[in-house]
Chain A
Amino acid sequence: MLPTTKDFYNNTLIEKECHMATDIPMVMGLETEYGISVDTEHAGLGHLEASYGSYEVVSSVSKLNRSLVDRGLEDIEIDEHEEAEAQADQRRAVPFTDEDYPLSRARIRDDDLNWRPTQKIDRNTRPSTPRGAALRQRMGFTGFILENGARYYVDMGHPEMSTPETLNPYTLVAAQKAGDLIVEECRRIAEVSMGVHARDRDLKIHIHRNNSDGQGNSYAGHENYLLSVDLFEEIVHCMSTLYDRASRRHYRVFREGPTTQAVAKFFATRQIITGSGKVGSEKYDEIRNAVPYQISQRSDFMMRIVGVSTVEWRGIINTRNQPLADYATMRRLHVICGDSNMSELSIYLKCGITALFLKMMEHGYIQRASGDLMTPLFDALTAYHTVSRDLGLNERLPLANARTTTALETQIRFCELAQTFVRDMGLAPVWHDIARKWEAVLNGLTHNRAKDPWAKNLDWVVKEQLLQNFQKRHGVGPTDLSCRALALAYHDINPDNSVYHRLFSNGKIMSIVTPEDIERLKREPPSDTRAWLRGEVIKRYPGNIVDLGWDYMFFNNGDFVEMKDPVVGNKEQIAPLLADNPSFGVFYERMKLLFASITPWKTELHAARARPPRRS
């Protein structure tokens, strides 16, 4: 019997026969950068106000009567001296110019719509108002760690919520939805406080869970999966480093070997499940109206197969090497090519099928598969864009061996393998559930997706049907402003303004998780990872924390705890230590003993595999 994540949950590791020497538990997490717009009576919609709005929204979490780690924001009132200081800091900031970013400038191209389909990056996210600047200065980059184990902060001018780690895609969906509820509560508070400071009672803040503004600017919906070092290095293998004298920059050259190509192929074709649908094109060499509707919001922003950057020249495979776990044995695959989804089924499958695929890679299932499954796409990047535009799901994608395939055919093959994999490995029921739903959705996409009970719940299918019906009923074309308005309103997180929420509350889109679980995960971390320990420490000993991150805790007794294994610190392990409500000192000693008793197997097993850290 091969081990499952349950074995790790019970702190037992079984070496097994597979091409990978380790079996890393499938720890997952999601990050969401929300789109934010501030509608003021005087200034209208402006992105500088939006940056200030982000700080106002995120800092509002301190008013939710919820345990958290903050940076001195209990007293949100900021005095005049602090405002003046922040303002001075603002003036010292180097303003953004195109000159700083030659790669962006090279992509700028005007067309007859006077629209710039470019990825011009404005890194100056400093709010324009003194209060915004002061909030920024106080909050810093880390932002807040919440009692549910999530991290909540401002990233590049957007509010961002990163879910706590979990082993279960079901829990992940609930955690993501819980994050939405927290952001929405903060939005309501911030709307009032920002309105007071802006002397505008009608001020409105709009927050969207989407990935682009339709004008060439994109923001993230990232996924994270824990992998073994071996698999990560097969996927992301740096061959050499080049130095470009002209730009005075170092460039890393990545090998696009068979494993890399297989992952790119999976990501290119999974869009038919994970896409959240977009009106128009934002690809640099196309005009906006060239594509009335496409499957993915992020596809246009993928500009290479492998790359390190997440803000410009994004790659289908991101090479960020920051495990946030034991560097000797684990890596985190940072997936940046996916969409932010509203539909629970889309989120559930996005994380579930990707985790299954990576597990299959780790166990050599994909590598040993017959047929063309390991045959790389002839051009994965072009295929990525093609799949997103292929609403018929029948576009033939050239393979490197001169044959062709479609996204649907490829996904069906991956899915068939997954059925075998979950059976052979005796995986937990959640993975069987994922495999079955994967099959059901693909079956629906093969036939009539609008009528299929599963496929019609995918984000891009819902939006497609909404748009078609709207156009038919109101006699408008696909490029009409109403269509863009509809597509945007779908992603609003305010239930009063959201098309998704109206459909959902009327039972037109299926749910995966229960409202009770979502409500619970607003306050509790998932019980199966170190997030539980993080949450308990925040709730019980907030005064003893100096600093807290994904994989470490600093305490005011001068001690530092590294949480290198994401499954150590789960509820099963921590609850007994807290049963008698111990003082911090007693709990700390018990926690040290727990880590000391669990860590050796890893040290022993992987000592030979330890290698010096590489630059990320």
Chain B
Amino acid sequence: MSEQQQVQRPEETTAAVPDTAKQPTADLTGDGDDLDLDDVIDISDLVEQSRNLAKNFKQRGGQ
């Protein structure tokens, strides 16, 4: 998948939303790649910088 998949914008009301699932567009059918994401996109810096946060991540219980 080389480019961002995008669905056309529908009108605001429920009356008009594109029938995207039927559109045989290349970007929706994909290229068969698996999600070997960090092969292409380097995320190691993000992982590294959130290590400390993950270690101490403590939240107040909510709803």
Contact = CB atoms under 8 A, between A and B. Distances in A.
Q: Which of A510, A511, A528 has the most CB of B within 10 A?
A: A510
Contacts of B62: 33, 155-158, 217-220, 311
Contacts of A498: 46
Contacts of B30: 451-453, 456
A222 B63 contact: yes
A431 B4 CA distance: 24
B6 to A, nearest CB: 5
Given A119-B61, A429-B15, A488-B57, 10 more contacts: A37-B57, A51-B60, A311-B62, A428-B15, A451-B33, A485-B51, A486-B50, A487-B54, A503-B41, A514-B6
B35 to A, nearest CB: 4
Interface string B1-44: 11111110110111111111110000011101111111111010
B53 A170 contact: no
Contacts of B7: 510-513
Interface stretch (A267-275, A386-394, A463-471): A463-471
Given A508-B41, A511-B7, A310 B14 contact: no
A481 B60 contact: no
A430 B13 CA distance: 9
Contacts of B43: 466, 486, 489, 499, 502-503
Contact of B35 (A311, A461, A488, A507): A461
B19 A432 contact: yes
Q: Is the interface of A mostly helix, strand, loop or mixed?
A: mixed
Contact of B50 (A312, A452, A492): A492
Nearest to B10: A170
Contacts of B46: 486, 489, 497-499, 502
A568 interface: no
A347 to B, nearest CB: 13
Q: Is the interface of B mostly helix, strand, loop or mixed?
A: loop
Interface residues of A, number: 95
Size class of the B contact interface (CB-based, 8 Å): 35 or more
B53 A451 contact: no
A277 interface: no
A436 B50 contact: no
Contacts of A506: 4, 40-41
A217 B61 contact: yes
Contacts of A171: 12
Contact of B14 (A167, A453, A485): A167
Nearest to A449: B35
B19 A488 contact: no
Contacts of A165: none
Nearest to B46: A489
12 contacts: A50-B59, A120-B61, A167-B13, A168-B10, A168-B14, A219-B61, A222-B63, A311-B61, A466-B43, A497-B49, A508-B40, A514-B9
Given A469-B38, A506-B41, A528 B12 contact: yes
